[in-house]
Structures are given as structure tokens and as C-alpha cells.
A = this chain, B = another copy of it.
């Protein structure tokens, strides 16, 4: 493409799309061409509302129906925040229409669906990527550096990640994330995707040999319907006894704790998904030493607080703006990066295996590869 800007279309007016409306604006190499909804009025309301709050230089157009976006020659890439239950169809149609695809997580209802999506994108030479914003944070690069420097953490032995929020009564009654038709994976798809991703990322995308999962709480929307997890824990077993523990819940108040421990020390993030507002993003490294002197036994904390350059309230440096910038670069250069579909597929494979384990009483499942 001989363009300076990747031209985006958004399929649907999901709540999360508001955030990415702004992220596309702040990416620097992207323009938002069009927003589509099945109901044109909804698309117009969305654009009018957002344009007041975070105006784009040119007001994006609106279209009725997603098909119209795929037929639009002024759209290079689509962002697909549609419910997981209908995502596959539109990802594949977008790929077949030659559009690059950024898709919300969980990518699909199961591994087979994601394989189809990824294959469709590969066949059409378009980029596939999931919408995990933290993968594009400056902090993650800093974290990789710490994991690689041989002294901050050393060899990884244990990853622990907990990502939760508490849905109220209204959430449980009306939100699609507890509806088996739209979001059959419940909190595992919505939150577990991040905790599993972090573990895989830390392990440089080595696959676990085995996984376990436990459905700690579930809802059944209808009699006979599959249970939707609303509280879930799992463990990933990698080579050499390295493990990752994760926990997700729709009934536990906001928490986004991550700890990566190794033979030399550990690093902790208290906000690994969405950096806390108004703070610089932080990483706490601890190289704690046990000191005995005479009859005293002490632990020297050995903590180093590392602040990365990005501010959570500096929009142009936000993980989501970085995500759209990175994606747009790939689309503009035409150099499709197979890493992104590969890690999305791996995340789905591990997540599915954890769910299968939970449905089989928590027994160890080999996720294959």
C-alpha cells in the first residue's frame, strides 16, 4: 500500500469500541473511515457521541450492516468487537473481502473456529491479531528485558496471574458475558484469555505439557444449556516443573495481579492488564536475601520499583494506541506477521484445554499444539 494511514472500519458499537475509537485516533498512522451497525441509527448515535468526546479530524461515516464495510474500498482493516458467538463468521468474511482483522478476545468459541479464522486470513494475505492491549505496552518490553537479564528473575519457575471484576445483579441478568449463546466461555474467555496469555508470553510461547481447570462457579442461562463459567481457576504445567497458576472471576472485585518468580528473584505487577489511572506504569522487582547475623534472621526486601516511560493517561502512549499503531504498520507495509495469529491460536488451545479439564473434574489435559 502506498498510504500513510491505515483506514479502519468498526463492526458493531460494543462498549469497548469507544475506547478503540480513541485509540485509532491516537495511533498516528490510522484513520477511522466507517462505523457500522445492524441498526444504522445505532451507528449514527455512536459516531455522534464519540465525535463529541474524542473527535477525529474527519467524522467517520456510518453504514448499515457489516457487509457494507467489507465491500467498502476505503477500508483496509476492520476491528471486530462483535460477540464471540458471531465473531467467526465476520472474521472469515472480512478476510475473504481482503480486510485485515483485529478481533476482540476470546477469539472464538473453540479452537476449531479460530483455526478457520486464522486460515482464512492466511489464505487472503491479511493480518490477524487479537485485541490484547497489554501486548503493546512499553512495560511489557521492559518486563521481557527483566526476564532476560539473568539476574532480576533468573530462570522462570512460577507465574501467577489473577484477573477479576465483580459484576452486579444487572450484569448477571443482562450482560452477554454470562450468556452461553454469545459468550459461552464466560469469565474464562473474557478474563482468562489475559491470564493465560501472560503466562504463554512469559514462557516465550512454549506450550504447556498439561493443564488443569476448575469451574468454581457457573451460571446456566437455560435448562439444558451448557454451563458458563463465572469463576474459574487453572494451572499450566510446562517443561521442567515450571508452572503458571491463574484465577478469573466475575464475582471478585477488580484485581489484576501478576507475579513471575524465578531462580534469582521475582517481579510483580499490580495492574498487568489495564494500568492504574494517573500513575506511571510500574514493575516491582524483588531480589530478597535472607540474612542471618548472630541470633537475628532477617529478610532484606531488595526491591526495585521500575517506572516505564508510558503514562496511563498519556493517550498517544497507551497500550491501545500502540496496538492500533502496530497493527496499522503491518497493514501499511503489507508484511503480515504470523506471530500474532500463532499466539492467538495458542491462547485459545490452552484455554479450551483448561475448560475441557474443568468439564472432566479437573483432570490433567494435554493441550497438544
In angstroms, how far is the closest chain B Cβ from the Cβ of A278?
Answer: 8
A110 at the B interface (CB under 8 A): no
Give the residues in chain B near A361, CB-CB below 8 Å. 364
Residue positions of A touching B, CB distance < 8 A: 15-16, 18-19, 21-22, 50, 53-54, 154, 157-158, 160, 162, 164-166, 212, 214, 216-217, 231, 233, 235, 237, 241, 243, 245, 247, 249, 251-257, 259, 261-266, 268, 270-271, 274-279, 286-292, 294-301, 303, 312-313, 361-364
Give the residues in chain B near A296, CB-CB below 8 Å. 19, 22
Bound Cα distance from A254 to B18, whole angstroms: 43
> In this complex, what residue of B is CB-closest to A54?
B295
A-B contact pairs, 23 of them (CB 8 A): A15-B292, A50-B294, A54-B294, A157-B231, A157-B249, A157-B252, A158-B233, A160-B160, A160-B162, A251-B263, A252-B262, A253-B264, A254-B290, A255-B261, A255-B286, A271-B299, A271-B301, A274-B299, A276-B288, A276-B300, A277-B299, A362-B362, A363-B363
7 smallest A-B Cβ distances: which pairs? A53-B294, A254-B288, A216-B241, A276-B301, A277-B298, A22-B295, A157-B252
> In this complex, what residue of B is CB-closest to A294?
B53
CB <8 Å contact, B252 and A243? no
> In this complex, what residue of B is CB-closest to A249?
B157
9 new A-B pairs (CB below 8 Å) besides A18-B294, A19-B296? A54-B294, A158-B252, A160-B247, A160-B257, A252-B266, A253-B263, A271-B301, A276-B301, A362-B363
> In this complex, what residue of B is CB-closest to A291?
B277
Bound Cα distance from A274 to B291, whole angstroms: 12
Give the residues in chain B near A268, CB-CB below 8 Å. 257, 270
Give the residues in chain B near A364, CB-CB below 8 Å. 361-362
> In this complex, what residue of B is CB-closest to A238?
B216
Give the residues in chain B near A286, CB-CB below 8 Å. 254-255, 270
Given contacts A241-B231, A301-B276, contact A253 B287 (CB under 8 A): yes
In angstroms, how far is the closest chain B Cβ from the Cβ of A288?
Answer: 4
CB <8 Å contact, B312 and A254? no
Give the residues in chain B near A19, CB-CB below 8 Å. 295-297
Give the residues in chain B near A164, CB-CB below 8 Å. 157-158, 261
